[in-house]
């Protein structure tokens, strides 16, 4: 194997370049005479050439030295190095040309070099010097990769981003990847060759794995079709092909892709969701120059709503949360953004009527997004009084103040766990929904409820839990092999909330199309694959049993509910049963039980308010008999 020195002496590079120039000149003369010369011809030409050969080599040496074509490390030859070589050779040829003209007209009426020689010498000299650089660079790249195990790679996306990714991989001397082809959904590209490699159909992943021994697929397409992307990823998983993704070009440093930026794909890409088209005009009209209050602003949905809302230039956003540290972190993020919207960061507890009264009188919000809530099922099952105090009393406090202050719209963020609840958390959210609906006709405020399932990557969701368990070497804990959940991404959830806000006329419970439910154990297996690990070899899955109040399957509609469509295909309106006339009195009685701290009495009262609340895997099951 060729061994390369860390740094070749510069004089050797200069000598090689001069020898290449001399060889180019000799080759030019040979070609001029059709490679067929006799001794007499050589002697005649040498008689002329001998007077200028020293000038030739001296000029080449000084021009090459002055333009520093020998300075760059040959194994790292760049376009800037090639540019200097080109300028050096052009400069030499032009000086030779003008010198020939001068000699012909003012000295001995003989050209320094014939014009044909000058042209050929320029072409050969440039080609051989550039070629020598590339030969050395290729030999160096092969030498440093020869001891590494090759990793065969496909690039998903045969467009500009795919080409940039290929070049980035090939120019990175630290990796051992070999790009064997592109895959693309565009059948018109299939079968063509781009930059020397073939474009294959994205439906042929299995065949390509067998034929080319593919180890990895890199997604390098800006706006892939989510459904096709999901199919490609799942095809890769079926044959244990690792999958990575190139980030959006907006995140590239100085517009250039770094190999280190190519990373594992986010779990969101496995949902296969089509992008949501928002009613931009309607949202701008509804939010422009308005004052908006967001409770739970430092949470996953709350903070996601902040970023979405700022696109529509509200006059002011009040970000309310009781968590000091997460609100501080959100403030630091938002302060970096350029916006005309005034941002107010307020520490406060939605359960404190006096504090909330002060917030409403100080800022006079016109729109309220209520995202503050306790949401962890097992914890709330152990602490029913706190679930009731935050999810019911907190909502009641904000609903009453919104009515009193003539807020235009109040949007309650609810959950699929409020449907046929089997736990205290779900029942508390259902009662909050009922109270908001009940108050809708009692003033000018329009109360709107949005109900959706689990949000990928939100605080406390399974994704961060699984990621932490994988980082710690496992095991991943799943409560039951059969358990399923509906999932959507944070941006998707926030966009649908905004869409429901625009179309809501008050009193509705909007249900979002969550797609197909996902088995949690399948999600865990896919996350293991995304991390480049192998199930039961690198990491295991442990079944721990259902937690208190946990369902096997979530629902978005109760048995007595049905839906009617809206203009948005992903949003439906749930038709719910009528609330009792004395609902406010019953909720007030429930809230008054807080001081007694009698959990069984609190849960019993919840079951009276929500007859479909049947506890599962809980100490409160005895209250249902």
161 has a pLDDT exceeding 70: yes
Q: In this structure, what are the phi and psi dihedrals at residue 409, rounded to the nearest 5 degrees?
A: -140, 140
Q: Which of 112, 145, 178 is the last residue of a domain?
A: 145
Per-residue confidence (pLDDT) for residue 4, from 0 to 100: 47
Q: Residue 216 falls within a domain, yes or no?
A: yes
- pLDDT for position 61: 75
d(C-alpha 144, C-alpha 174), whole Å: 9
Taking residues 65-73, what's their average pLDDT?
65
Is there a contact between 371 and 297 (Cβ–Cβ < 8 Å)? Answer: yes
H/E stretch holding 137 reads helix 115-145
Please determine, for residue 140, whether its predicted confidence score (pLDDT) is greater than 70.
Answer: no
Q: What would the 3-class secondary structure string for 143-184 be?
A: HHHCCCCCEEEEEECCCHHHHHHHHHHHHCCCCCEEEEEEEE
Higher pLDDT, 259 or 438: 438
pLDDT in tens, 242-301: 888 888 777 776 677 777 777 777 776 666 666 556 667 778 888 888 999 999 999 888
- The Cα 158–Cα 185 span in angstroms is 9
Task: Annotate 170-198 with b (16+ C-beta within 10 A) or e (fewer).
Answer: eeeeeeebebbbbbbbeeebbeeebeebb
Region 338-354: mean pLDDT is 92
pLDDT reported for residue 580: 78
Which of 59 and 162 is assigned the larger pLDDT?
Answer: 162
Q: What is the DSSP letter of 490?
A: H
150 vs 352, higher pLDDT: 352
498 and 532 part of one domain: yes
Number of domains in the chain: 3
Note whether 509 and 573 are within 8 A (CB): yes
DSSP secondary structure of 273-307: PPPP---HHHHHHHHTT-EEEEETTTSHHHHHHHH
Instruction: Place 395 in a pLDDT band, splitting at 50, 70 and 90.
Output: very high
Rounded mean pLDDT of the chain?
Answer: 81
State the pLDDT at residue 2: 47
Is a pLDDT exceeding 80 seen at residue 386?
A: yes
Query: For the chain, how many residues are written?
Result: 625
Question: Counting Cβ atoms within 10 Å, is residue 439 exposed (0-12), middle (13-18) or buried (19+)?
Answer: buried
Cα–Cα dist 492/514, whole Å: 10
What does the alpha-carbon distance between residue 31 and residue 40 come to, in Å, rounded to a whole number? 17
Residue 559 scores a pLDDT above 60? no
Q: Is residue 274 part of a domain?
A: no
Torsion over CA: 321, 322, 327, 328 (sign): positive
Decide if 291 is inside a domain.
yes
How far, in Å, are 86, 207, 407 from residue 269 at the CA level?
Answer: 47, 23, 38
Residue 546 lies in a domain: yes
Query: Does the pLDDT of residue 235 top 50, yes or no?
Result: yes
Question: Which CATH number goes with the domain that contains 496?
Answer: 3.40.50.720
User: Is the same domain home to 177 and 213?
Assistant: yes
- C-beta separation of 490 from 460 below 8 A: no
271 within a domain of the structure (yes/no): no
Same domain, 533 and 403: yes
Amino acid 1: pLDDT: 43
Angle between helices 324-334 and 300-309 (to 10 degrees): 20
Name the DSSP class of 570. Answer: T
Residue 619 in any domain: the answer is yes
Q: How far is CA 89 from the centre of its chain?
A: 47
Helix (H, G, I), strand (E, B) or coil at 374: coil
Distance CA 78, CA 65 (A): 18
**Is 150's pLDDT higher than 90?**
no
Residue 8 pLDDT > 70 = no
Whether the CA torsion 431, 482, 376, 589 is positive or negative: it is positive
141 and 155 share a domain? Answer: no
Give the CA distances from residue 206 to residues 61, 162, 236, 533, in Å, rounded to whole numbers and listed in that order: 57, 21, 8, 20
What does the alpha-carbon distance between residue 444 and residue 368 come to, in Å, rounded to a whole number? 14
Separation of alpha carbons 519 and 467, rounded Å: 17
Domain boundary among 265, 299, 320: 265
**pLDDT surpassing 90 at residue 184:** no
Same domain, 442 and 411: yes
Residues 89 and 233 in one domain: no
Percent of the chain with pLDDT strictly greater than 70: 83
CB atoms within 10 A of CB 94: 12
Q: Is the domain of 132 the same as that of 195? A: no
Task: Say if 336 falls within a structural domain.
Answer: yes
Final residue of a structural domain among 265, 297, 325:
265
In which band, very low, low, confident or very high, does the pLDDT at 522 lie, cut at 50, 70 and 90?
confident
Averaged pLDDT for residues 354-374: 95
418, 328: one domain:
yes
Task: From the candidates 166, 375, 409, 417, give the one annotated as an active-site residue.
Answer: 417
**Residues 80-130 pLDDT 10s:** 677 777 777 787 878 777 777 776 667 666 666 777 777 787 787 777 777
On whether both 132 and 164 belong to a single domain, the answer is no
Instruction: Report if pTM > 0.75.
Output: no
Task: Provide the β-strand partners of residue 342.
Answer: 316
The closest alpha carbon to 281, from 445, 503, 570, 505, belongs to 503
Domain enclosing residue 181, as ranges? 151-265
Q: What is the pLDDT of residue 560?
A: 55
Q: What CA–CA distances, in Å, run from 194 to 163, 182, 215? A: 8, 8, 21
- Co-location of 547 and 599 in the same domain: yes
Is there a single domain that holds both residue 155 and residue 141? Answer: no
295-329: pLDDT as tens digits: 999 988 899 899 989 888 899 999 999 999 999 99
- Whether 417 sits among the annotated catalytic residues: the reply is yes
- On whether residue 204 sits in a domain, the answer given is yes
487 in the same domain as 362? yes
Tell me the Ramachandran region of residue 154: left when phi exceeds 0, alpha when psi lies from -120 to 50, beta otherwise: beta
Task: For 533, list phi and psi in degrees, rounded to 5.
Answer: -110, 165
Q: What Rg do the C-alpha atoms of the chain give, in angstroms? A: 36
Q: What pLDDT does residue 108 have?
A: 64
């Amino acid at each position: 194997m060729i061994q390369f020195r860390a740094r070749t002496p510069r004089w050797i590079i200069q000598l090689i370049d001069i020898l290449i120039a001399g060889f180019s000149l000799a080759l030019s003369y040979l070609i001029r005479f059709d490679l067929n010369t006799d001794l007499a011809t050589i002697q005649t030409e040498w008689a002329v050439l001998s007077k200028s050969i020293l000038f030739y080599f001296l000029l080449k040496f000084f021009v090459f030295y002055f333009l520093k074509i020998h300075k760059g490390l040959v194994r790292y030859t760049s376009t800037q190095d090639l540019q200097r070589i080109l300028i050096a050779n052009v400069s030499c040829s032009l000086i030779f040309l003008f010198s020939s003209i001068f000699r012909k007209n003012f000295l001995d009426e003989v050209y320094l070099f014939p014009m044909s020689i000058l042209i050929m010498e320029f072409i050969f000299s440039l080609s051989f010097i550039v070629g020598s650089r590339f030969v050395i660079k290729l030999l160096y790249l092969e030498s440093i990769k020869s001891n590494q195990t090759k990793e065969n790679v496909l690039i998903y996306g045969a467009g500009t981003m795919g080409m940039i990714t290929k070049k980035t991989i090939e120019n990175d001397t630290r990796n051992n990847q070999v790009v064997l082809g592109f895959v693309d959904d565009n059948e018109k590209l299939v079968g063509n060759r781009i930059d020397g490699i073939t474009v294959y159909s994205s439906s042929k992943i299995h065949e390509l794995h067998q034929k080319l021994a593919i180890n990895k697929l890199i997604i390098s397409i800006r706006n892939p079709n989510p459904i096709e992307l999901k199919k490609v990823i799942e095809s890769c998983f079926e044959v244990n092909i690792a999958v990575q993704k190139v980030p959006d070009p907006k995140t590239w440093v100085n517009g250039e892709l770094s190999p280190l930026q190519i990373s594992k794909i986010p779990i969101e890409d496995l949902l296969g969701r089509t992008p949501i088209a928002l009613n931009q005009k309607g949202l701008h009209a509804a939010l422009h120059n308005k004052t908006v209050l967001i409770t739970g602003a430092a949470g996953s949905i709350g903070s996601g709503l902040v970023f979405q809302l700022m696109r529509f230039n509200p006059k002011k956003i009040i970000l309310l949360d009781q968590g000091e540290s997460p609100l501080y972190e959100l403030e630091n993020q938002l302060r970096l953004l350029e916006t005309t919207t005034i941002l107010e960061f307020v520490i406060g507890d939605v359960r404190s009527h006096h504090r909330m009264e002060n917030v409403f009188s100080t800022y006079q919000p016109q729109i309220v997004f209520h995202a503050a809530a306790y949401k962890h099922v097992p914890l709330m099952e152990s602490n029913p009084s706190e679930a009731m105090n935050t999810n019911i009393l907190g909502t009641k406090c904000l609903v009453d103040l919104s009515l009193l202050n003539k807020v235009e719209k109040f949007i309650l963020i609810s959950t699929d766990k409020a449907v046929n609840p089997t736990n205290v958390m779900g029942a508390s959210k259902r009662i909050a929904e009922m109270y908001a609906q009940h108050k809708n006709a009692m003033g000018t405020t329009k109360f709107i409820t949005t109900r959706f399932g689990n949000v990928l990557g939100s605080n406390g969701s399974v994704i961060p839990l699984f990621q932490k368990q994988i980082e710690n070497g496992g095991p991943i804990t799943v409560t039951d092999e059969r358990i399923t959940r509906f999932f959507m991404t944070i941006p998707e959830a926030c966009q649908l909330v905004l869409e429901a806000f625009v179309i809501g006329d008050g009193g509705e419970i909007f249900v979002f199309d969550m797609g197909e439910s996902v088995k949690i154990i399948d999600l865990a297996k896919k996350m293991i694959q995304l991390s480049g690990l192998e199930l039961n070899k690198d990491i295991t899955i442990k079944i721990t049993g259902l937690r208190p109040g946990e369902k096997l399957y979530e629902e978005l509609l109760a048995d007595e509910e049905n839906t009617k469509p809206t203009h948005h295909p992903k949003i439906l309106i749930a038709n719910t049963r009528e609330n009792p006339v004395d609902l406010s009195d019953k909720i007030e009685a429930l809230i008054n039980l807080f001081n007694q701290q009698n959990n069984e009495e609190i849960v019993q009262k919840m079951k009276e308010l929500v007859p479909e609340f049947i506890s599962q895997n809980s100490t409160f099951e005895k209250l249902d008999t």
